[in-house]
Amino acid sequence: MKFSISFVEKAESNGNTAIVLASVGHVPAGLQAIGMGEALYGKASATAGFKAKLCSTLDLLAPAESDAARIVLIGLGERDALNSNAWLRAGGKASSLAGKAKKLVVYPDGSAAPSELAEFALGMILGGYSFDRFKTTSRDEDETEGEIAVEIVAGDVAAANAAFAERQAVGEGVVLARELVNLPANILGPREFADKAEALAAFGAKVEILDRAQMAELGMGALLGVAQGSVRPPYLAVIHWNGGGNDERPIAFVGKGVVFDTGGISIKPAASMEDMKGDMGGAAAVIGLMHTLAARKAKVNVVGILGLVENMPDGNAQRPGDIVTSMSGQTIEVINTDAEGRLVLADALWYCKERFKPRFMIDLATLTGAVMVALGSHRAGLFSNDDGLSKELADAGERTQENLWRLPLGDEYDKMVDSRFADMRNTGGSRYAGSITAAQFLRRFVGDTPWAHLDIAGTAMGSPKNEINRGWASGFGVRLLDELVRAHYEARD
């Protein structure tokens, strides 16, 4: 369901549905505008037990004199507790109530700030996204096809428009990330993903695509080893957004982009293997973030790097026991070909550090099943060699409710990835501490650069439904990292 959102001082007509926002203990200010008296509201809400709790709803037939057919009240909760996340969720809730309407008018409760209205609008965009392009017959019959016009009544229309322009860029980034994660691997291979990166040029980003020969020239034996079992060649996409000063060192984001992970020769069981179309969730978050930063012209220099490969078993695939030489010169014994993400990231991180000397590097990866055992689908694992960066990330996670939980690194864990035959091996030798040993492996490729690793295996896909997401692909990381950049790394006017 696509919404075309605008802000208005006063709605000319209500269309099919008027959405009135209500806070606990207050008569909604919007009621007056739609000709519904306080007494009628009192009666209706008491009868239905509507108390304006956050995201609760009350669906009413509009009075005869109203030009709307439906009036839907959405609770905002207590005014004191009304933070940006509550606005976002309320917007998401509104998106699910559009039904067959062609036009919606939203009446906020009292004097909502422009930024709050923009967050509500972002919630509508996110909640409205669904992956239905392959459904040729059974589109949801209760929904309108095509765009639904949404008018949000705002005190200061110009300020609301300006605030929304920024949040719309975020919405586009999240939707892009979700769409890529949802797309099956027959449609989205490494080349098609690289094309998506190149498309960011339209927003003023510079994009380079390195092919297999160029990566071989650079000595990226770890990444190339993963790719060699697939008939579809790998690419490394390097996206630059230069919104900062000429001599400002960039910040960097690196994403695991395994378009499909069969496990390779260490093949995965059949059950749920189809989920591995989402094993590029890290790269999807990075491209989504780069889209957002470019679209909202963020005042910062940023590099986004995507390691795009497919992990397949074939006659040319790498074997357990193979030893590969990474770009760093360090050698790796491949114990399990299903621990491929860290091999891809090893070369992508080293390349990033050597070429850009970034202020920090943050990698995102659907890296381990073990992080799902530890944290489920509610938080991503955070690993870092830098307490300051780690705190900034965790705090941005709280604010956006894309939550993180820091897990430890340490010499004891580092030893677990030592190999008998090479400098290191690509597993920790047992299932214990599986997410930590994966992070420990990555750490060997970041040198002294401030670095954080987000293991998003549990949060990027297979996500539960909520107000702002109809499910499966979440686009996790885009809102979080946009917030990190906005709060700490952008030049102020």
Locus of tokens 């939980």: 405
Catalytic residue among 268, 299, 359, 406: 268
342 a catalytic residue = yes
Query: Per-residue x/- marks for ligand BES, 390-429, CB under 6 A?
Result: -------------------------------------x--
* Polymer length in residues for the chain: 493
* Closer residue to Zn ion (CB): 82 or 312: 312
Interface with ligand BES, residue 370, by CB under 6 A: yes
Identity of the residue numbered 428: G
Beta carbon nearer to ligand BES, 70 or 342: 342
Binding to Zn ion (CB under 5 A) within 278-307 occurs at 279
- Please give the full DSSP string across 317-334, using - where no structure is assigned: ---TT-EEE-TTS-EEE-
457 binds, among ligand BES, Zn ion, none (CB under 5 to 8 A by kind): ligand BES
Contact 341, 279 (CB under 8 A): yes
Query: Tokens standing for 288?
Result: 């989504």
Q: Which stretch binds Zn ion (CB under 5 A): 166-174, 189-197, 330-338, 355-363?
A: 330-338
Residue 109 site contact among ligand BES, Zn ion, none (CB < 5 to 8 Å, cut-off depends on kind): none
Site for Zn ion in 252-281 (CB under 5 A): 258, 261, 279
Part in contact with ligand BES (CB under 6 A); list of ranges 31-39, 83-91, 115-123, 363-371: 363-371
Chain residues 288-347 in contact with ligand BES, contact rule CB under 6 A = 336, 338-341
Q: Which of residues 185-224 bind ligand BES (CB under 6 A)?
A: none
Residue 268 annotated among the catalytic residues of the structure: yes
Question: 172 vs 261, which CB is nearer to Zn ion?
Answer: 261
**427 interface partner picked from Zn ion, ligand BES, none, CB below 5 to 8 A per type:** ligand BES
Q: Which is nearer to ligand BES, 292 or 368 (CB)?
A: 368
Buried b (16+ CB within 10 A) or exposed e, 247-265: eeebbbbbbbbbbbbbbbb
From candidates 109, 166, 261, 467, binder to ligand BES by CB under 6 A: 261
DSSP per residue over 350-384, as a string?
Answer: HHHHHHH--S-EEEEE---THHHHHHTTT-EEEEE
Instruction: Name which of ligand BES, Zn ion, none residue 18 binds, using a CB cut-off of 5 to 8 Å depending on partner kind.
Output: none
- CB 55 → Zn ion: shortest distance, Å? 35
370 binds, among Zn ion, ligand BES, none (CB under 5 to 8 A by kind): ligand BES
- Of 171 and 189, nearer to ligand BES (C-beta) is 189
| Distance of closest approach, residue 274 Cβ to ligand BES, in angstroms | 11
Angle at 227 between CA 223 and CA 229, to 5 degrees: 145
Amino acid at 52: A
Is residue 366 at the binding interface for ligand BES, with CB under 6 A as the rule? yes
Binding piece for ligand BES, criterion CB under 6 A, among 76-84, 223-231, 292-300, 368-376? 368-376
Q: E strand or H helix at 425, and its extent?
A: strand 424-425
CA distance 389 to 428: 26
d(CA 334, CA 53): 53
Q: Identify what 369 binds: ligand BES, Zn ion, none; CB under 5 to 8 Å per kind.
A: ligand BES
Contact between 14 and ligand BES by CB under 6 A: the answer reads no
Binding mask of the shown chain, residues 143 to 182, with x at each position contacting ligand BES by CB under 6 A: ----------------------------------------
77: tokens are 């909760």
Sheet of strand 424-425, all strands in order from the earlier edge strand to the far edge: 323-325, 331-333, 424-425
Tell the smallest beta-carbon distance from residue 359 to ligand BES (Å).
Answer: 29
Task: Choose which of 166, 279, 402, 414 interacts with ligand BES (CB under 6 A).
Answer: 279
Cα gap 482→44, rounded to integer Å:
41
- How many whole angstroms separate alpha carbon 406 and alpha carbon 408? 7
CA distance 382 to 340: 19
Minimum CB–partner distance for residue 211 and ligand BES (Å): 23
Token pair, residue 482, equals: 């946009």
Give the residue, chosen from 338, 347, 392, 455, that forms a contact with Zn ion under the rule CB under 5 A: 338
- 239 and 290 Cβ atoms separated by less than 8 Å: yes
Compute how many other C-beta atoms are within 10 angstroms of the C-beta atom of residue 245: 11
Considering only residues 439 to 478 of the shown chain, the ones binding ligand BES according to CB under 6 A are: 457
Q: Tokens 């069969």 — which residue?
A: 262
Rounded Cα distance, 207 and 201, in Å: 7
Catalytic member of 103, 196, 342, 443: 342
Specify burial of residue 395 (Cβ count, 10 A radius: 0-12, 13-18, 19+): middle
Q: Closest distance between ligand BES and the C-beta of residue 443, in Å?
A: 16
Q: Is 363 in the site for Zn ion (CB under 5 A)?
A: no
92: which residues sit within 8 A by CB, 6+ positions away?
A: 55, 123, 124, 126, 127, 466, 467, 468, 469
Residues engaged in binding Zn ion (CB under 5 A)? 258, 261, 279, 338, 340-341
Q: Which residues are catalytic?
A: 268, 342
Which residues are at the interface with ligand BES (CB under 6 A)? Answer: 261, 279, 336, 338-341, 366-370, 427, 434, 457
